[in-house]
Structure 1
């Protein structure tokens, strides 16, 4: 076997090869087998092993398309190292167009998982054992939750030198220093010593062309930074704004919310971001920024209740 042969779940991928295979997860009540689809692009030379994952939340689709475009663009014969891509991690949620697994568990709160726990726990354990364990770096792709949209952004531990270097290379409009959340893939992989970038962009159940292109370009830039692959068509690295604090602006009353700002817009403290009225357009209540910052997310559902998080601002 060549120096860059890799074995995952007893599948042997030789150097210069692209292989797609499935890791069995569970059977549905109909006895239909549900598997985790894995694509490995193995370069001709040893190097970093980068995992790409999407649809941990089954309704977050931009990452699925991002990975498809990366796989269609990278030539294994010009690759140094390995790409391990899982474009649909939560296959159950993907089929149902749902964020969650059939038992309503959030897969991204179930890591590192166990062999004998819930379905979410078993799936998380499989991913850690067969994907993370064979990787040296990771990029996990997400969108906003349902009824929200996100500015393309990287969330990562910016205090870690390697992670920070990859985050800067990605070149999203914004990178946020974010602590890991217990039970998340990023938290568990970081504890295993893998630098991880989490990419957030767009909305659930929708393709966002700009968010997809930003993700494709960003991943290719990271691969260039890691000396894995050089794509001559990749645009130059874009300088990212950097944030370490973010704040949600909440509705002070229930009603119909009228948004007056855009994603990526810089705002000043006390600036009016929108307003809330009743169903008849009366009793206008201003929604104001609580900090100087940039708009990184907002609700797309105009019907709000008192206390709802409606606009997310990052301090830059």
Structure 2
């Protein structure tokens, strides 16, 4: 059945057409108007509305390239439904090469937002009321913090059945079933009745073609699963993703020079050496061993570390209850936090 006109920001987008919008946020310190770019592809046929967002953290630029390639691939005349893309949710952080807004607030901890709140709160409110409420499903794109790398992975709430199905259709190397965080976009999406998956891949301020291709291919498979597009048959086997519900960070026991033995994507065994930290002025060194069976889903790119710095992020794959130390169970049972959020 042919689609009807899609109305957005008091404008009409005809079926089989594209439209570009720049939603005004505020004026910066110079008086220049700051916009949030929105790109809409409205299909010729009826179907669901998919929202894709990137750069909620301004320095996480890899998702921007994913969105750009998706917009280049999707043809409006062959699309069933509507694609709403927001390549840069946080333009302030993007131009400043920063994760945060000018007031140092984290936009992804500012939802649901307020119309008369802080800058972060106002942006969150606008995104929630003008974009999230238009969607049937959403995909938010992220990367690791600066000087760290994330293996391409999808995070989904274990309570979201449809999101879990679409996460498997995405087919990343691993799916992390993680709890929702207070103030996050994914958390407020649940309150709004909108299911969402979060794609994590690569490193802040860096483009990584592998992470980009996994993201683009995954989104296209999600769109096919949602019956929005038809993909050409392929002889390539789609690998079933690993799935995990718990993970932990391994930290440096001392300051020194770090060498990662098992980078992201490698499976590790209980007691396996995964990193070493050496004293730069002597032959002393500390060996770090994995306290669990799992797979490395993130690692530090820093060669020089201090005591307590995060080295490796490992997702549990093996049988629970067998660990090298009694603190491991407590660490695994905690919330799945990004490194910058961990004390």
Shared fold by TM > 0.5?
Answer: yes
Mapping of 1:58-97 within 5 angstroms? 58-97=58-97
2:39 alignment partner in structure 1: 39
1:245 corresponds to 2:241: no
Q: Can you list the C-alpha shifts for 1:69-93, whole angstroms capped at 9, x where unaligned? A: 0000101011111100000000000
Q: CA deviation at 1:283?
A: 1.0
Mapping of 1:195-234 within 5 angstroms? 195-232=195-232
* Superposed CA RMSD: 1.3
Query: Aligned to 2:176, what secondary structure does the other structure show?
Result: strand
Q: Which structure 1 residue ranges, 5 or more long, are not aligned?
A: none
Query: Aligned to 2:210, what secondary structure does the other structure show?
Result: helix
Q: What is the TM-score with the length of structure 1 in the denominator?
A: 0.97
Paired with 1:315 and 1:8, the residues of 2 have a C-alpha distance of 44
Q: What is the TM-score with the length of structure 2 in the denominator?
A: 0.89
1:301 corresponds to 2:302: yes
CA contact (8 A) 1:4 1:81 kept: no
Q: CA deviation at 1:236?
A: 5.2
Q: CA deviation at 1:231?
A: 2.6
1:189 alignment partner in structure 2: 189
1:292 alignment partner in structure 2: 293
Query: Aligned to 1:262, what secondary structure does the other structure show?
Result: coil
Paired with 2:252 and 2:111, the residues of 1 have a C-alpha distance of 33
CA contact (8 A) 2:3 2:81 kept: no
CA contact (8 A) 2:255 2:305 kept: yes
Query: Aligned to 1:190, what secondary structure does the other structure show?
Result: helix
Q: Can you list the C-alpha shifts for 1:254-313, whole angstroms capped at 9, x where unaligned? A: 222111112110001111111111122521100111111000001111222222221000
CA contact (8 A) 2:158 2:179 kept: no
CA contact (8 A) 1:115 1:125 kept: yes
Paired with 2:305 and 2:168, the residues of 1 have a C-alpha distance of 36
Query: Aligned to 1:237, what secondary structure does the other structure show?
Result: coil
2:272 alignment partner in structure 1: 271
Q: CA deviation at 1:237?
A: 3.4
1:55 alignment partner in structure 2: 55
Paired with 1:90 and 1:245, the residues of 2 have a C-alpha distance of 30
Paired with 1:281 and 1:49, the residues of 2 have a C-alpha distance of 60
Q: Can you list the C-alpha shifts for 1:33-56, whole angstroms capped at 9, x where unaligned? A: 000000000111221100000000
Paired with 1:111 and 1:88, the residues of 2 have a C-alpha distance of 17
* Count of residue correspondences: 315
| Segments ≥4 residues shifted beyond 4 Å | 233-236
CA contact (8 A) 1:43 1:82 kept: yes
Paired with 2:202 and 2:108, the residues of 1 have a C-alpha distance of 18
Paired with 1:102 and 1:12, the residues of 2 have a C-alpha distance of 34
1:283 alignment partner in structure 2: 284
CA contact (8 A) 1:169 1:237 kept: no
Which one is further off, 152-161 or 177-186?
152-161
CA contact (8 A) 1:253 1:306 kept: yes
Q: Which structure 2 residue ranges, 5 or more long, are not aligned?
A: 318-343
CA contact (8 A) 2:260 2:311 kept: no
Q: CA deviation at 1:146?
A: 0.7
